[in-house]
């Protein structure tokens, strides 16, 4: 994807996500700015990564799934790493990555099947030729619900109107939302029930 993590460069350009921890840049105002209005309600949340790993990583997919589903970070991380390792090599994706720290190919069938198994439903917001219809702005997104927003090379959890991430990735409300994974409570309860019966 070309984004850098420290001094390390991630070569695969098709993965989600390789996001830097940029703090909260949208909350910083210059001397020329008289008033700042928050585009989203933001809450810093690493999804529990700090309990298992040190340092930064391009783990936005693991973080978003963990936060929206309520599952343990390491459980989600291990599942995504396994999915990465199992996918076929192609000209675009290159060698399989056996970890989930450098991004996930979210368009792969195994990832979509995994999300469905957790009780998520995909809701598209942008179509060919339609242009961007919805932005990462509190006035354009649902006020309730547990969502995983699909952004450009990034996924982020959006829970009951609050953006949960390691930085405010909204670009002051101008960032396009291509679609989102919506948590369906009834489906998820069935998943947990099936796990408990095993």
Digitized pLDDT (tens) for each residue of the chain, 198 residues in all: 333 334 333 334 456 664 333 334 334 444 454 455 689 999 999 999 999 998 888 899 999 999 999 999 999 999 999 998 887 666 555 555 667 877 888 999 999 999 999 999 999 999 988 899 999 999 999 999 999 999 999 999 999 999 999 999 999 999 999 999 999 865 555 555 555 555
Quick check: 20 and 3 in contact, CB under 8 A? Answer: yes
User: Helix, strand or coil for residue 104?
Assistant: strand
151/154 Cα distance (integer angstroms): 5
31 phi and psi, to 5 degrees? -65, -20
196/180 Cα distance (integer angstroms): 28
- Predicted confidence at residue 72, as pLDDT, reads 97
Q: What proportions of the chain, in percent to the nearest 5, are helix, strand and coil? A: 25, 20, 50
- Predicted confidence at residue 55, as pLDDT, reads 84
12/18 Cα distance (integer angstroms): 10
68 phi and psi, to 5 degrees? -75, -30
- Predicted confidence at residue 164, as pLDDT, reads 98
């Amino acid at each position: 994807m070309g984004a850098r993590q420290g001094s390390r460069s991630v070569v695969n350009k098709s993965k989600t996500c390789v996001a830097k921890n940029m703090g909260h840049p949208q909350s910083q105002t210059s001397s020329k700015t008289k008033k700042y209005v928050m585009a989203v309600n933001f809450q810093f949340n690493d999804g529990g990564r700090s309990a298992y790993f040190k340092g930064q990583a391009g783990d936005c997919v693991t973080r978003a799934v963990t936060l929206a589903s309520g599952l343990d970070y390491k459980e989600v991380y291990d599942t995504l790493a396994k999915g990465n390792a199992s996918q076929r090599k192609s000209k675009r994706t290159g060698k399989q990555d056996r970890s989930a720290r450098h991004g996930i190919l979210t368009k792969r069938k195994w990832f979509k099947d995994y999300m469905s198994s957790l009780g998520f439903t995909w809701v598209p917001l942008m179509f060919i030729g339609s242009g961007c219809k919805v932005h990462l702005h509190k006035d354009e997104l649902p006020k309730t619900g547990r969502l995983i927003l699909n952004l450009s090379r990034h996924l982020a959890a959006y829970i009951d109107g609050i953006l949960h991430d390691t930085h405010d990735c909204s670009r002051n409300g101008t960032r396009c939302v291509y679609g989102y994974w919506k948590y369906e409570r009834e489906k998820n309860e069935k998943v947990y029930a099936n796990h408990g019966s095993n």
